[in-house]
Copies of this chain bind each other. A is one copy, B any other.
Amino acid sequence: MEAFLNYLKKFIEISESEESIILSKCKTRKYLKNQYIVQEGDICRFQSFIVKGKVRTFYLDNKGNEHVVMFGIENWWAADLGSFIAQTEAEFNVQCLADTEVIQLSHSNTEALFIELPKMERFFRLIIQNAYIKTQKRIVQNYALSAKERYLEFCKEYPQLEQRIPQYMIASYLGITKEFLSSIRGQLDK
């Protein structure tokens, strides 16, 4: 919980009494490697703040191919936001890539929190703003850069991930096949 409060305090100021309101709405939960926090078709009932571990968000297209949409590590949020907000069926899967510990806020607790503590609106506005800006940059990069350049960017931006995540998932995140990523890496080794 400590990590979570520190994170919160980067965005808004909170008093001790506010802290306890927030914590009263949160639950800690642990997942094992390969477990799913969200599954396609279910309703995404929580926003999960990652305290420890790592996850991937992916979805299956109609040809049955997996596409990794994003990774999540410490201090990131994991959810199918579209599903969470509207409480409709999730399109995405969120799966743990290691044993993972999260802090969860349910939909109704989130709503309640917004009412009790309106400054939480600000908090989430700021979080999502940042996420949105990052996502937009990614779109831009995908268009402007070749696969090799995207891979190099990825290694620079997520050095922690490059080490510890199967290559085929990185390939999927980059929008290329595992074979092609392999050949790119081959070239780069020289």
Residues on A facing B (Cβ under 8 Å): 59, 61, 65, 67, 69, 81-82, 85, 114, 118-119, 121-122, 124-125, 128-129, 131-133, 135-140, 142-144, 175
Contact = CB atoms under 8 A, between A and B. Distances in A.
Contact of A128 (B69, B118, B125, B140): B125
Q: Is the interface of A mostly helix, strand, loop or mixed?
A: helix
Copies in the complex: 2
A137 B139 CA distance: 11
A114 B122 contact: yes
11 contacts: A67-B140, A67-B144, A81-B133, A82-B133, A82-B136, A82-B137, A118-B118, A124-B125, A132-B135, A135-B135, A138-B139
A108 to B, nearest CB: 17
B142 A142 contact: yes
B175 A142 contact: yes
Contacts of A125: 121-122, 124-125, 128
Given A121-B125, A140-B59, A175-B142, A132 B69 contact: no
B69 A144 contact: no
Contact of A129 (B85, B138, B140): B85
A30 B27 CA distance: 50
Contacts of A124: 125
Contacts of A140: 59, 67, 69
A69 B140 CA distance: 7
A142 to B, nearest CB: 7
A67 B143 contact: yes
B121 A69 contact: no
